[in-house]
């Protein structure tokens, strides 16, 4: 603490061009005027001089230059800076620890494996495929699956559609049957409770249509109680809006093998287990059930999308047709379906587009070629790509992983500031992975089976799985550009490949200006009236989504910066239309709904990021108003502890639903948005950042909180690396924006 020496401050050092002149009572900073007040000197001041400038040669033989230093530091707000340095050190420590911890989890090939579980209807599908085909999993696997299924049972005996959801008929019947297939005794107390849940809630006949399908395969339900999928529809002319090639690819690829199974009414033979199960899951005597009457019965706990009147009418027709369908046409249809299934198997190395079709395709291939066929063996070999062991047991993942997606995100997160450069090995490995995951070829049967062009694209998981995704291409490209900018790796992704990725992004833009997931929207939205799944919404066509659009706009903006010459006009137009789409999607409260993660904070972050970066491409007033509204929305949702937290109910209800406790992932998204918007709510940002630091565990990880991914509004999915990626990104952005500039 410097002593109080008031008269020191009567002197002030003026400098200019290296000149240094002490001014007495400097009234101005003009060095030439330094004597202006020199005559204004009182007796009091003279006395103060001799007191304040008393000098002790014993203790301080050489002058320590205290007058200048004290003044210089005071004018630089030394105290404040001292405090900032300490805070910054805490931030740097947290970030370094976070990146160090996460880097340790990276594989040698550069990606981050992780838990991608959540939905509870996936493992049962696979178990049914293994049971029907008499291809049991090894004992240790079976044991771990049992552990998993029991771990997620609710105390009332039921299971949800996903691990955090309330019990439903679909969830409960599927897990019940799975556990029985895995050899658990029907008198096991937990199964008795589950059986009671099923019966108390109306019995298995009220399971939604996807459940009716699986039960029919097992001979636990009758095919004529399943609304016909009208397999012949696949032979319709392709130009018809209802032709399945126009459906969202996930619906298409699930309803394809389902149609094959229904066309053949695949049904396993009765055995003791099946006969017993028929008693365990129905209130009525199985043989006395009027199956046709069960077609539209859905337990109210399951119902998310009501059947439309149009669908009911259609079902009337297709169910009648089922009774008269000529055999020759069925055979022709089945041949086509099988050809398509084979093509999908070949295109994806038997991984298939997702976990549901993976299991059902296995059943079809087993049915068509038998258990000993090469094709079926190849299918079985890839079952294991979908299995994941975590502390809750063995589950089936929602995809064959989220490899590319996570790598792309973490790369951008780390490179947000120079701090990421302290991890060159991690960045380099990530880059190698991104390089090896870009899809560089198309299959021979590409066009025949309605695939979107994909040379230059990136997938969500792996190139081998081979389904390109618009925003994954955008994220792969953004990460590539970010790495190239640093110059710390030898770039192996050529300009040509970058341009191919740009072409893919451009090819994905919908008429409405937005970007979809895997393919352009190929039919009008009215097709949704034919959605036969009572548990999901908006699954019929591929829609434009805010977050997919924002990701693509951002990648194009980055391309404009780094490759300004490439397709300049076209890209500008695409960006402008994309930004307009995003603005149009904004809700009146300033937020955006997120379709692929929980929920409003997620999409709002994406949208704000695109709007901020897209400054030059859209009307300034419109843009500012939109960004300000978004920031107001986020500020309004900040919780008292400084964090943000939404529950998964935001997704299904489409209304922001506050969690009881704040969530680091939501907090990070909100902070990323507020910071990029250069919101003047510094205090709110600071409080959020403090929360992220405070929530960090000693080893640099963050605890896993509530489930953060979603699909089709109603089913949740785990993204285990989000809890690292996004806090690191938000902290890194804070560091970049606030680092002390020396």
Contacts with ligand LAN, residue ranges (CB under 6 A): 250, 254, 354-356, 398-399, 405, 460, 469, 471-472, 517, 536, 547-548, 596, 711-712, 717
The β-bridge partners of 19 are 16
Yes or no: say if 229 and 265 are a contact pair by the CB < 8 Å rule.
no
Yes or no: say if 281 and 198 are a contact pair by the CB < 8 Å rule.
yes
Separation between Cα atoms, residue 263 and residue 256, nearest integer Å: 11
Q: Would you call 515 helix, strand, or coil by DSSP?
A: strand
Nearer to ligand LAN, 355 or 590 (CB): 355
Largest pairwise CA distance in the chain: 119
CB of 661 to ligand LAN, least distance (A): 25
To the query of whether residue 435 is one of the catalytic residues in this protein, the response is no
Yes or no: say if 23 and 34 are a contact pair by the CB < 8 Å rule.
yes
Contacts of 13 (CB under 8 A, 6+ apart): 20, 21, 22, 23, 68, 71
DSSP H or E segment with residue 726: helix 722-738
Contacts of 222 (CB under 8 A, 6+ apart): 216, 289, 291
Nearer to ligand LAN, 118 or 642 (CB): 118
- The residue of the chain with the least Cβ separation from ligand LAN equals 711
Nearer to ligand LAN, 345 or 471 (CB): 471
| 672 prior amide bond cis, ω within 30 | no
Contacts of 351 (CB under 8 A, 6+ apart): 358, 382, 385, 400, 464, 465
Nearer to ligand LAN, 423 or 536 (CB): 536
CB of 551 to ligand LAN, least distance (A): 7
CB of 732 to ligand LAN, least distance (A): 21
CB of 143 to ligand LAN, least distance (A): 26
DSSP 8-state code for residue 385: G
CB of 558 to ligand LAN, least distance (A): 18
Contacts of 628 (CB under 8 A, 6+ apart): none
Nearer to ligand LAN, 230 or 399 (CB): 399
Best CA proximity match to 457, nearest among 404, 402, 521, 512 = 404
- The C-alpha torsion from 212 through 216 and 221 to 222, rounded to 10°, is 110
Nearer to ligand LAN, 280 or 542 (CB): 542
CB of 518 to ligand LAN, least distance (A): 7
Nearer to ligand LAN, 179 or 597 (CB): 597
CB of 253 to ligand LAN, least distance (A): 8
CB of 345 to ligand LAN, least distance (A): 17
Q: How far apart are the first and last CA of the chain?
A: 23
Yes or no: say if 527 and 537 are a contact pair by the CB < 8 Å rule.
no
Separation between Cα atoms, residue 325 and residue 321, nearest integer Å: 6
Please give the full DSSP string across 352-400, using - where no structure is assigned: -SSHHHHHHHHHHHHHHH-TTSHHHHHHHHTGGGGEEEETTEEEE-SSS
Catalytic residue among 345, 406, 471, 503: 471
CB of 205 to ligand LAN, least distance (A): 22
DSSP H or E segment with residue 658: strand 658-663
Yes or no: say if 503 and 477 are a contact pair by the CB < 8 Å rule.
no
Separation between Cα atoms, residue 58 and residue 77, nearest integer Å: 32
CA 264 to chain centre: 37
CA 560 to chain centre: 26
DSSP 8-state code for residue 159: E
- The residues annotated as belonging to the active site are 471
């Amino acid at each position: 603490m410097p002593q109080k020496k008031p008269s020191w401050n009567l002197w002030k050092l003026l400098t200019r061009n290296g000149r240094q002149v002490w001014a007495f009572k400097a009234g101005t900073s003009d060095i030439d005027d330094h004597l202006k007040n020199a005559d204004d000197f009182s007796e009091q001041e003279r006395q103060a001089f001799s007191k304040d400038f008393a000098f002790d040669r014993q203790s301080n033989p050489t002058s320590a230059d205290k007058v200048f230093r004290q003044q210089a530091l005071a004018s630089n707000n030394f105290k404040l800076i001292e405090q900032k340095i300490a805070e910054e050190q805490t931030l740097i420590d947290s970030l370094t620890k976070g990146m160090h911890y996460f880097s340790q989890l990276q594989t040698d090939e550069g990606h981050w494996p992780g838990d991608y579980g959540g939905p509870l209807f996936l493992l049962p599908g696979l178990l049914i495929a293994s049971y029907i085909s008499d291809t049991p999993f090894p004992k240790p696997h079976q044991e771990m699956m049992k552990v998993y299924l029991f771990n997620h049972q609710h105390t009332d005996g039921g299971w949800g559609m996903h691990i955090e959801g309330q019990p439903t008929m679909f969830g409960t019947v599927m897990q019940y049957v799975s556990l029985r297939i895995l050899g658990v005794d029907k008198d096991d107390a937990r199964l008795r409770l589950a059986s009671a849940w099923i019966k108390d809630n109306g019995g298995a006949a009220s399971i939604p249509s996807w459940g009716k399908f699986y039960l029919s395969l097992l001979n636990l339900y009758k095919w004529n109680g399943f609304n016909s999928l009208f397999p012949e529809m696949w032979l319709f002319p392709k130009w018809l809006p209802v032709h399945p090639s126009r459906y969202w690819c996930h619906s298409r690829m699930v309803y394809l093998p389902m149609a094959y199974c229904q066309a053949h009414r695949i049904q396993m033979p009765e055995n003791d287990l099946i006969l017993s199960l028929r008693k365990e899951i129905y209130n009525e005597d199985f043989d006395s059930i009027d199956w046709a009457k069960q077609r539209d019965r859905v337990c109210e706990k399951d119902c998310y999308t009501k059947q439309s009147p149009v669908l009911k009418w259609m079902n009337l027709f297709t169910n009648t047709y089922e009774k008269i369908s000529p055999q020759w046409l069925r055979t022709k249809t089945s041949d086509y379906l099988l050809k398509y299934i084979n093509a999908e198997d070949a295109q994806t190395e038997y991984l298939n587009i997702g976990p549901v079709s993976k299991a059902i395709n296995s059943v079809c291939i087993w049915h068509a070629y038998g258990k000993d066929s090469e094709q079926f063996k190849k299918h079985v070999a890839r079952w294991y790509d979908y299995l994941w062991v975590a502390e809750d047991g063995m589950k089936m993942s929602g995809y064959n992983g989220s490899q590319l997606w996570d790598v792309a995100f973490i790369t951008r997160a780390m490179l947000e500031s120079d701090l990421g450069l302290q991890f060159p090995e991690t960045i380099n490995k990530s880059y190698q992975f991104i390089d090896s995951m870009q899809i560089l070829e198309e299959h021979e049967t590409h066009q025949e089976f309605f695939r979107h062009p994909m040379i230059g694209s990136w997938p969500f998981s792996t190139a081998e799985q081979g389904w390109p995704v618009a925003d994954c291409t955008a994220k792969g490209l953004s990460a590539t550009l970010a790495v190239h900018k640093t110059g710390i790796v030898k770039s192996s992704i050529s300009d040509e490949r970058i341009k191919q990725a740009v072409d893919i992004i451009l090819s994905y833009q919908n008429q409405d200006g937005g970007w979809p997931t895997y393919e352009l929207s190929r039919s009008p939205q009215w097709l949704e009236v034919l959605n036969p799944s009572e548990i999901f919404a908006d699954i019929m066509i591929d829609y434009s989504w805010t977050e997919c659009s924002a990701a693509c706009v951002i990648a194009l903006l980055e391309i404009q910066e780094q490759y300004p010459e490439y397709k300049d006009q076209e890209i500008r137009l695409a960006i402008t239309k994309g930004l307009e789409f995003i603005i149009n999607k904004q809700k009146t409260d300033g937020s955006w709904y997120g379709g692929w993660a929980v929920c409003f904070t997620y999409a709002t972050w994406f949208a704000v990021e695109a709007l901020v970066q897209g400054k030059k491409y859209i009307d300034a007033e419109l843009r500012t108003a939109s960004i300000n509204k978004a920031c107001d929305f986020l500020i309004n949702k900040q919780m008292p502890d400084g964090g943000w937290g939404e529950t998964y109910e935001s997704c299904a209800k489409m209304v922001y639903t506050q969690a009881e406790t704040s969530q680091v992932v939501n907090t990070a998204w909100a902070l990323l948005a507020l910071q990029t918007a250069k919101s003047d709510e510094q205090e709110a940002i600071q409080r959020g950042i403090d929360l992220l630091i405070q929530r960090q565990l000693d080893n640099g990880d963050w605890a896993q909180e509530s489930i953060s991914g979603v699909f089709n509004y109603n089913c949740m999915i785990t993204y285990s690396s989000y809890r690292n990626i996004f806090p690191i990104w938000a902290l890194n952005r804070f560091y970049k924006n606030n680092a002390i500039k020396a």
